[in-house]
Structure 1
């Protein structure tokens, strides 16, 4: 397995996608189960809600891969072509590769499936999500937050550009502004951690939100730092998912924090995938246990090496050079 040198920026670039995938696979066996005892060590045992093999990741990483491949191949993430490619990839995945899919995302996929392959597919998808929210259907699930980590790799020096992209990619399936705001905060946390090996970017991201939303989110982050991850269950709601992930992230190194995210219970694979992206950005792929890297795999055939190359491709980098 070829990974970048420990402590390099590339180590942290690769850590974003690998950290998320490993968190996803670690959480799969416990999805929608009860809180785990503090002395229990989560394992990549497979099973869960589907016929997952040990180490196999689920829809969280599958959708992140769809985004990452589009970003790798298009210079402007918010171009019509990049968004079209992503929307098409989501639909093809939903039809052929999805091992699991959330209710909100599944509904949007059904409503926009007729536009597969058409230039307007991203607009159709976004409109369906917006209409669902406008109709009063709760639309602030964690399904956009779980997948947006790769966007941070495409904007290494442009937090405001990243905020625009995080909002656009969230709105493809989630019309509630809460989902977009969560993606903005988390993506900026990932971007900053990759650049500086520091977690303070999540709070710095508050300045990227509308002025009247900053205090609300600051209070939610405060609460997450004061309470354990399991206090934010059920965590299918995007705010609770972010709080559970942040509560875990600030409590230790990569492995300690990732296991804490899984122990919180409920939507374990998603919370751990969200936490894993930020933890990987902070600590790097070199901090991920070797047994996780050896086991992790999933649709459409990636293992750790392939995910590493994909992350570096999004960032436009070559392993070990920086």
Structure 2
């Protein structure tokens, strides 16, 4: 049997940084074109590819939205608790909302308000909670559970159900986590594509080929958009530009495709002009959180000094 090479801890940490910074970059770039149509984007920008802020939220260049901010909340909760603690996650969300963030989705706001008022840690199942608010923030859970799919599935759904309790949302959260795990452990493009095709066969709602061309806040549209641009491009820049020029919920599709492409192509694959524009405080925090989450992932401890298995 040929030895199967796995990344060492330093390489894994680098991929984690690429994922978290990529998420923030995608969020900041996509926020400009959120709620616009492709036709409106073309008329105003021709091709939107500069991190200029503005958009419907009137952001500063490099400023992020709820996608990155809620992801950082989960990362902070894990760090402060030194492990997974759903109440700590809910507390971070509550503090974040009380701080009047620049943007918060209606379903997220409702779930967090229920926690503040009633200490509710699980929203009621609802067909109307198939938005992408749970999917957009699951990155820290995936990093912390790297190497343990059971914990991934448990924790990623627990954080989802704080605000979004829907089987489509759950399925997307779990699979994106698994896909990220595959990338972090060095999976090649063809393997990722095969895994995604298997997921789509199991969950045909998410079929993205042919691409339906929708990019709304509905989790199905989001997943289809991310898969289409992830697998039809071969570099981070083209992947993200194609995604955010689709408009719709562009900060979230941008964040998610930035997360996956950032892990796959690495921090070095992200254009420097975007890295320089990204809010420096956000960059510093997501960099530190990504390293912490990987270094404290319980399942990765045996890999500390191991570089290959047979």
Name the residue aligned to 2:261: 279
Structure 1: how far apart are the matches of 2:196 and 2:148?
A: 12
Q: Contact conserved, 2:215 with 2:221, CA < 8 A, in 1?
A: yes
Q: How many pairs were matched up?
A: 284
1:130 equivalent to 2:124? Answer yes
Name the residue aligned to 2:300: none
Q: Contact conserved, 1:12 with 1:194, CA < 8 A, in 2?
A: yes
Name the residue aligned to 2:7: none
Name the residue aligned to 2:5: none
Name the residue aligned to 1:4: none
Equivalent of 2:65 in 58, 67, 81: 58
Task: Tell me the alpha carbon deviations over residues 233-252 of structure 1, each in whole angstroms, 9 at most, x when there is no partner.
Answer: 24211111011111111122
| Secondary structure of 2:124's aligned partner | helix
Task: Tell me the alpha carbon deviations over residues 77-120 of structure 1, each in whole angstroms, 9 at most, x when there is no partner.
Answer: 2xxxx1111100001101104110111111122222225xxxxx
Any unmatched runs of 5+ in structure 2?
A: 1-9, 297-304
List aligned pairs for 1:262-273, cutoff 5 A: 262-273=244-255
Task: Tell me the alpha carbon deviations over residues 177-201 of structure 1, each in whole angstroms, 9 at most, x when there is no partner.
Answer: 2111110011111111011153545
Any unmatched runs of 5+ in structure 1?
A: 1-6, 116-120
- TM (norm. structure 1) is 0.81
Alignment CA distance shift 1:161-1:110 (3 Å): closer
Q: Which runs of 4+ in 1 moved over 4 A?
A: none
Name the residue aligned to 1:243: 224
Kindly report the root-mean-square deviation, in angstroms, between the aligned alpha carbons of the 2 structures: 2.6
1:306 equivalent to 2:285? Answer yes
Equivalent of 2:208 in 218, 224, 236: 224
Equivalent of 1:143 in 130, 133, 143: 133
Structure 2: how far apart are the matches of 1:173 and 1:238?
A: 14
Alignment CA distance shift 1:54-1:203 (3 Å): same
| Secondary structure of 1:226's aligned partner | coil
Alignment CA distance shift 1:201-1:250 (3 Å): closer
Alignment CA distance shift 1:220-1:279 (3 Å): farther
How many angstroms does 1:306 deviate by? 2.7
Name the residue aligned to 1:111: 114
| Secondary structure of 1:100's aligned partner | coil
Name the residue aligned to 1:44: 51
Task: Tell me the alpha carbon deviations over residues 279-301 of structure 1, each in whole angstroms, 9 at most, x when there is no partner.
Answer: 1111111111111111112xxx7
Equivalent of 1:17 in 5, 9, 20: 20
